[in-house]
Amino acid sequence: DTGVSQNPRHKITKRGQNVTFRCDPISEHNRLYWYRQTLGQGPEFLTYFQNEAQLEKSRLLSDRFSAERPKGSFSTLEIQRTEQGDSAMYLCASSLLGPREAFFGQGTRLTVV
């Protein structure tokens, strides 16, 4: 068990470009969550998957954001036409079913210049 892995750890992109982040959850975990954390704030829920199904999306997740979890394994979060307001730490977490501990990855820090 290597924990939740996120790549890349850091990403600097120009405004208007598209970016994609990857999350590899703990292998037996059914649930996968994406959160966004801006400076001085706690993480905010974006979306979650149970296996390959995306079951809930936050209103924070604009049309420029899309997430996938093909085959219920790794997940990707894509941001199209990035804006400076997208600069944040994007955190992925996974858990088993039920009220279990969510294990977080180290995050991907996005900077839009």
Where does this chain bind other proteins (CB under 8 A)?
4, 6, 31, 33, 35, 40-45, 48, 50, 55-56, 91, 93, 95, 98-107, 109
- Please, which residue, 15 or 100, has the CB nearer to other proteins? 100
- Please, which residue, 74 or 103, has the CB nearer to other proteins? 103
- Please, which residue, 40 or 70, has the CB nearer to other proteins? 40
Label residue 32 exposed, middle or buried (CB < 10 Å: 0-12, 13-18, 19+): buried
Phi first, then psi: give them for residue 85, nearest 5 degrees: -70, -10
